[in-house]
């Protein structure tokens, strides 16, 4: 019996006859707004201020034609804002825009020769990301349709699949390859085995929240090889934090990004624990054929935990508790080393301009306003004070829709205030 595990089909942004839904289709193209201009081939250098009020942004072109500005060479142009400036450059981009604008930690700004307008040390701090581990497994011949060959554009496969999609709106071309996933919480015994640092952390963030997972797992076919199965697994709420800051006033200069992965002692035992779990899940799949050695820890060849590919030697249909692989202390060290060498970003960066009190390192208030200035808001994943137990796409959409309501309310309040003031003149 498996305890504390939830398994379900994954909700995807694929609608109707296999058409992927996205922000451009759902909002921009559908609205056909006449007051919207999209400028491509341009970079935001900074927010332009008059005293402490944001009045626009400075745009730097990159030698590409710009229909909006009538430019074909590299250029710099200030775009004025009628009412307010809203920065939505993401958890990795928004801190850089603010810092180049003089909003951030004085230490960071002074090193980049930027005048400090607002002392706001939370900018670029507390970078949070889902820590990803992707061990892979071999699958039996004919276990599933060749998604990888379609993704690589193999003519003999792509033609057939595209024809099916054109005819029915179904098949591989109507799928993103992610069909099911699971979320799992640790048992009391497992919590104890991960050590006192983790136990204290889990008590604080998840012990009393029965719907909060410690690990998430999405299993899908590898896009590089038909017979590879890839569990994409990540810790949705790690303790470790990183940072991202500018190194120069030049908007084209690379920032200094520090992931912070595994810098807190609570995180490594979680990855070791779940590596063992996902291996047990994977070897019970009906089409399991063994581990892909290059994507697993380097166990001692004589260890009972050693990899067993090729062949079906490691397959079992027994319940996890009855027939789990035994790991020694040396095996655990091998897993730890594997995690340190392979942990990666899930591209779910978050938290670098957090919505919380300024004295606690916050950058924006509950109405998205950047502390210390006027008419400047941030509306992207950077405002989240901590990460979420899901793919962050839906969170971005939620932030955007709520931001639109906040912005409209503020504009209405401003208009009402203006009318009231004028009526008294």
Please give the positions annotated as active site: 348
Residue pair 414/383 in contact (Cβ under 8 Å)? The answer is no
Name beta bridge partners: 104: 119
Name beta bridge partners: 54: 49
CA 138, CA 310: separation in Å to the nearest integer? Answer: 8
Tokens representing 106 are 């004085």
The vertex-289 CA angle with 283 and 290, nearest 5°, equals 65
CA 144, CA 152: separation in Å to the nearest integer? Answer: 16
Burial degree of 419 (CB within 10 A; 0-12, 13-18, 19+): exposed
H helices of 295-392, where? 329-342
DSSP state of 369: B
Phi first, then psi, for residue 184 (nearest 5°) are -140, 145
First CA to last CA distance, the chain:
76
Task: Give the number of other CB atoms < 10 A from CB of residue 332.
Answer: 17
Tokens representing 159 are 């033609």
């Amino acid at each position: 019996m498996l305890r504390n595990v939830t398994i379900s089909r994954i909700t995807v942004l694929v609608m109707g006859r296999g058409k992927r839904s996205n922000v451009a289709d759902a909002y921009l193209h559908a609205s056909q707004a006449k007051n919207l201009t999209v400028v491509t081939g341009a970079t935001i250098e900074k927010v332009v201020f008059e005293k402490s009020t944001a009045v626009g942004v400075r745009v730097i072109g990159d030698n590409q034609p710009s229909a909006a500005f009538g430019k074909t060479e590299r250029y710099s142009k200030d775009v004025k804002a009628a009412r307010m400036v809203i920065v939505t450059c993401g958890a990795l981009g928004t801190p850089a825009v603010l810092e180049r604008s003089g909003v951030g930690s004085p230490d960071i700004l002074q090193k980049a020769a930027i005048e400090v307008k607002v002392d706001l040390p939370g900018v670029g701090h507390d970078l949070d990301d889902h820590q990803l581990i992707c061990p892979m497994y071999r699958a039996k011949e004919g276990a599933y349709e060749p998604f990888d060959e379609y993704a690589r554009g193999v003519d003999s496969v792509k033609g057939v699949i595209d024809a099916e999609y054109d005819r029915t709106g179904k098949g591989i071309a109507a799928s993103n390859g992610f069909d099911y996933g699971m979320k799992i919480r640790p048992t009391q015994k497992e919590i104890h085995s991960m050590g006192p640092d983790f136990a204290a952390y889990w008590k604080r963030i998840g012990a009393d929240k029965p719907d909060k997972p410690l690990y998430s797992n999405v299993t899908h076919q590898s896009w590089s090889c038909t017979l590879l199965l890839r569990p994409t697994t990540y810790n949705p709420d790690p303790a470790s934090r990183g940072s991202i800051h500018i190194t120069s006033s030049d908007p084209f200069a690379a920032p200094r990004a520090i992931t912070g992965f595994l810098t807190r002692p609570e995180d490594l035992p979680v990855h070791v624990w779940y590596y063992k779990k996902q291996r047990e899940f994977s070897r019970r799949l009906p089409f399991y054929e063994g581990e892909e050695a290059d994507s697993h820890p380097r166990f001692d060849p004589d260890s009972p935990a050693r990899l067993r590919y090729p062949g079906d030697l490691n397959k079992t249909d027994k319940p996890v508790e009855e027939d789990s692989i035994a790991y020694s202390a040396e095996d655990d060290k091998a897993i730890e080393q594997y995690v340190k060498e392979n942990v990666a970003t899930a591209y779910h960066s978050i938290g670098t301009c957090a919505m919380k009190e300024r004295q606690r390192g916050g950058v924006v208030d509950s109405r998205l306003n950047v502390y210390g200035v006027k008419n400047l808001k941030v509306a992207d994943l950077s405002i989240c004070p901590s990460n979420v137990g899901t793919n962050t796409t839906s969170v971005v959409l939620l932030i955007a829709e709520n931001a639109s309501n906040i912005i409209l309310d503020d504009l209405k309040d401003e208009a009402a205030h203006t009318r009231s003031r004028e009526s008294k003149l």
